[in-house]
Amino acid sequence: MNSQIEDNFRLAVSSVPKKIFRASAYLCFIFLLILLTGFSPCRAQQDRGSVAAESAASSDHDRRQLEKLSPGELDKLEDRLAEALTLYYDGQYGQALPIFNQIASRVETMDVLWWVGTSAMKTGNLKLAIDRFQKMLAVDPTLARVRLELAATYFELGQYSEARKELETVKASKPPQEVLNNIEKLLAAIDERTRKVFANIRFSQGIQWDTNISSGPDKKELNVTGGTLTLDTEAGKVRDWASITNLSGSVLYDIGERQNFMWNTTADIYSSVYFSHGKFNYMLIDATTGPWWVGREDILKIPFGISDQTYGSDRLSYIFHIDPSFEHYFNPNLSLKAQYSFSTESFYDTAKNGLLDNTTRRYELNPNIYLDNRRHIISFAVGYEDLSAGARRYTYSAKYFTMSYFTRFPTKTDLFLRYQFADKDYKDAPLLYPDARADRRSTYTAVLSQEIKKHFFASFAVNHIVNSSNAELYDFDKTTYTLSVGFYF
């Protein structure tokens, strides 16, 4: 359950401070002998937080349970109960539960059932919690707090129809408004969890200053085999403004039960249009679809799709790709993701396609650390990429390392920082050079984004690339500054 909903939910249905719970509990086990007479001065009804008053059915049930015990046995259980309650109110539910279970094997008063049920829920033993709460309601159906805890346990277990049924029962009893409000929140959470179709769309429009639109070297004259190469203006380092457009959307369909098979389809369009140098305009259109399998601790995705690239005013190439990944969550704070990507790129220009057509394979391992309910996400990645082209001078293998950090501030401001280092070695020398090309590239990225009125945002991004190559023609640095506004639904 969403932690904020759960906290509000439990707070609303419990109106007695914890120190009163503790005092009530200690008084209960001190005067437990009095229960034999049928009088319960400090029933843990407060701890149960029932909306309705305790019924005669609960008292009769407890009296019958206690009548099974001899005075000597009751004395021994009092000592064990004192020990269990001390652990319980200190939040050590895992240690308290076995003691409560031992007591329950001899006597199952409503208090003991409650303590077993809540301890079991706190320690993740959800089926035991359900069993104990159901036993309490079989005795006294008016215990609204117990029914609410049962609903919360069903929710945690993913039994949403059962959770809804219990919530509607409490709702019909006309509880206080604060309780009713939180019941509505939990019902809304159930609706969200049981949705079959999840769709979203995101659009942004921005303006970008690019310090090196051609990714060209600083020098105009380069030393090459046999002499000097003089670059024309647009082959060197050229600056320009560009219009940047991003449009993306996705539809996720839940095929069966939640945390099972799903199908995800996405479409993305990216376009950069330069104000003065249109030959460097670029557009990418991608459509991807494929199955997901979502478990309690694992996510398997097998997306496959096609991309189309346009450079300048000409269609450049089309790419078929498949990108399976598997992520395992060891706990809420740590996951490990393994990714593989396979793609084939074909160029439209017949003069190039024999040389540049390529097949790319990429392998990546990606540990992720989630802190403070995912307000801070730290990610690392190590990977290997192998591109096999029609000509050896375009064929390369690369090793890379990435680390990134994401955080969200209370002002709904997001900060994303990323660094990547890639070591790329080509199989042969490029034209005009005697040695096989080797590039070392560092990429620095920083993005600051501000949410505006829930569905709108503004962002500012800086991206800096330093590419060091043993072939001067490919030795360059490039920085882009992008200011964007957009919306998402």
Domain ranges in the chain with CATH number 1.25.40.10: 3-193
DSSP conformational letter for 312: T
Give the C-alpha separation, 213 to 65, whole Å: 82
Q: Structure tokens of 187?
A: 């019902």
> Residues 15-33: what's their mean pLDDT?
37
Four-way CATH pick for 3-193: 2.60.40.650, 1.10.760.10, 1.25.40.10, 3.30.70.260? 1.25.40.10
Q: Which residue has the higher pLDDT, 59 or 36?
A: 59
Mean per-residue pLDDT for 85-95? 92
Tally of CA atoms within 13 A in the half-sphere of 281 that contains its CB: 16
The DSSP annotation for 210-238 comes to ES-TT---S-SEEEETTEEEEPPGGGS--
SS3 content of the chain, % helix, strand, coil (to 5): 35, 40, 25
Q: 109: burial class by Cβ within 10 Å (0-12, 13-18, 19+)?
A: buried
pTM, to two decimals: 0.67
Residues 6 or more apart from 237 whose CB is under 8 A from it?
211, 212, 214, 216, 217, 218, 476
Q: Which residues contact 424 (CB under 8 A, 6 or more apart)?
A: 396, 397, 398, 438, 439, 440, 441
Q: Provide the token pair at 168.
A: 């509607």
The predicted pLDDT at position 300 comes to 97
pLDDT-derived band at 64 (thresholds 50, 70, 90) equals confident
pLDDT at 128 over 50: yes
- Mean pLDDT, rounded, for 69-94: 85
* Architecture of domain 197-488 in this structure: Beta Barrel (2.40)
Give the least confident one: 50-64, 227-241, 396-410: 50-64
What mean pLDDT do residues 428-441 have?
95
Q: Residue 259: what pLDDT?
A: 63
Return the closest-CA partner of residue 144 out of 18, 37, 14, 249: 14
Amino acid at 268: D
- Using CA atoms, how far residue 206 sits from 189, 245, 459, 478, 484, in Å, is 35, 6, 9, 19, 4
pLDDT tens per residue across span 243-276: 999 999 999 998 876 668 999 999 999 999 999 9
- What confidence score (pLDDT) does residue 179 get? 85
Mean per-residue pLDDT, 317-321: 97
Residue 344, pLDDT above cutoff 90: yes
Maximum alpha-carbon separation in the chain:
109
Residue 22 has what pLDDT? 39
**What is the residue type of 229?**
L
Tell me, rounded to whole angstroms, the distance of Cα 489 from its chain centroid.
18
| pLDDT at residue 293 in the model | 94
User: pLDDT band at 54, cuts 50/70/90?
Assistant: low
Could you tell me what percent of the chain has a pLDDT over 90? 62
Higher pLDDT, 398 or 160: 398
Task: Identify the pLDDT of residue 353.
Answer: 62
Closest-CA residue to 6 (of 127, 180, 174, 182): 182
CA torsion sign, 63 to 67 to 69 to 75?
positive
Q: What is the pLDDT of residue 107?
A: 85
Outline which parts of the chain fall under CATH 2.40.160.40.
197-488
Kindly tell me if the per-residue pLDDT of 27 is higher than 80. no
Within 13 Å, how many C-alpha atoms sit on residue 257's CB side? 8
When pLDDT is cut at 50, 70 and 90, the band that residue 298 belongs to is: very high
Greater model confidence, 62 or 21: 62
Mean confidence (pLDDT) of the chain: 86
Average pLDDT over residues 354-363: 92
Residues 473-485: tens digit of each pLDDT: 999 999 999 999 9
